[in-house]
A and B are shown apart, each in its own frame.
Chain A
């Protein structure tokens, strides 16, 4: 082939067509081609190939089509896709139904006399074992290849949905817990009021006791010093007894108030630390609610990103497909030209075969020219698509 190329370079004419063919050959670099043989200078004059070029070279903006970049993108996307499929496969299971053999017993079928006897109860019904098949649902792990990329979006949606539901529930309970904290504050205040009230009562009781103590202190020596035979002895004794009882009662009240105060203080302390813990819990719940909200926002963006990924995947597939088709049609065109050139080169004189070949070639040429415009459009469309996709993936 290189020889022929150099040979072609030496021949000056038909230069334009050769140039076109060269361009075409260069443009599809790396693709195996059936190269046409060099058109011989001594071509028969009866037929000349049309002078119209197949297309204007400057209409194709991208001169060299380098498929490597596109391939690179495709490869990367494939990696992401595989990764995502693996995630989904790892996290979901497939439920299949299996037939499982189960041993069962059934009554043996009896006929005629035996049947009658069994019916009457004179003969015992026999049972036999048989194998029945039951349909059982089984969960099995999934193959990454079974996974569709759109499942990922659905997974995220479900996850987000449940997370948001959870978050709403948590928000409600945080609100309730906040109510509890407020209630506990009220209770604590009530305790404080009660304790203060008890303290005031205690102090006034102590004062009362002290008065009684003073009185008792007066009367006891008097009573002790009196003789039982004194006519007022009974009176004094009674007075002393009553005073002592009153004093003991008053001191008993002191005891009760003081015990109450101590108990109230203990409970209040416990409730305060309880309230602190609940408050802490509420704050943590608050933070979680906010975090989950943010996460949900971010995750919904991720959903969009994944959507874009799947778009890119399918877009790339489309573009690649049409490029391949274009290249293939170019291939066909090259083959047509090559065939024509070979026929011309072989200097086949006018003959019915030649006429047939020539007509066939002409037809192919027509078809090729018709597809020309289509191809051009397609190429331009693909260009635009690639640009769009590259923009999305940025």
Chain B
């Protein structure tokens, strides 16, 4: 095995830093929440938060492809790693076999982690993209919606007071009749409409944003979760690689095998979840084809 390949991969893995990404994800979630809050409450300074949010998005969308590229490159190099004990005498067959199995295990572990990292980062990118799109739509609509809600507020308030309705002028002329008829119609409509909702535009304003709000809420939680997953994956990857490096450089040992098994055990849950997801999605897909 080419020692420079090993060192090269070591260097790349060392340089791989997901902390900036996870930091930015947290900042994005925080700013996004602040921006939403400023949509609801006009007194907060929405402009500044929006600018910061835009900047954060830009940084994220710039950072992510670079990370994905690094991860992919490491993968492509790692795939060609083969088990060799560097500069050591060929050990007895059992040890050699154990060593090889350990190596393969660690390599597989590393590759899967790299794939997992790439997936998660890619999903974060998509989540951000879609979320931003929807958020922009809603924030574009908020202004006219707010204006309409205010006007409707005022109108409803006037109808509630009804200064002119309570007084029946009591005349026979057709004009007065028409006025009474119009007023009666308004009263009937209001009575009917009141029973459907509480008639307050405030609740309407809140109601228009709530389904969007729920979805956005879950998106933020997901983003934070994925950020954490990425951080864990990164740490595990580095740990696994250290072991692999030691195995290749210093040789097989019982301790190494123990640690490797522990890592593999930790990773097993991920592996299972992934396979389950693939299986269930494929099972669901044929139904979609029939329905869709």
Q: Footprint of B on A, CB under 8 Å?
A: 83, 87, 91, 156, 159, 163, 166, 169-170, 173-174, 176-177, 180, 183-184, 187, 196, 199, 202-203, 206, 209, 228, 234, 237-238, 241-242, 244-245, 248-249, 251-252, 254-256, 258-260, 263-264, 266-267, 269-271, 273-274, 277-278, 281, 284-285, 287-288, 291-292, 294-295, 297-299, 301-302, 304-305, 308, 394
Contact = CB atoms under 8 A, between A and B. Distances in A.
A37 B277 CA distance: 125
19 contacts: A170-B151, A177-B148, A183-B141, A206-B282, A238-B80, A245-B79, A255-B278, A260-B130, A263-B126, A264-B130, A270-B211, A271-B134, A281-B149, A281-B208, A284-B193, A291-B185, A297-B178, A302-B169, A305-B171
Interface of A is mostly: helix
Interface stretch (B12-20, B51-59, B115-123, B261-269): B115-123
Nearest to A276: B211
Given A199-B292, A242-B79, A302-B175, A173 B147 contact: yes
A85 to B, nearest CB: 13
Given A252-B119, A277-B207, A281-B208, A260 B155 contact: no
B163 A91 contact: yes
A252 B118 CA distance: 8
Contact of B148 (A174, A251, A287): A174
Contacts of B95: none
B176 A281 contact: no
A289 to B, nearest CB: 9
Interface in B121-174: 122-123, 126-127, 130, 134, 137-138, 141, 144-145, 147-149, 151-152, 154-155, 158, 163-164, 167, 169, 171-173
B208 A277 contact: yes
A139 to B, nearest CB: 19
B151 to A, nearest CB: 5
Contacts of B126: 256, 259-260, 263
Interface in B87-130: 100, 111-112, 115, 118-119, 122-123, 126-127, 130
B4 interface: no
A58 B189 CA distance: 60
Nearest to B181: A298
B41 interface: no
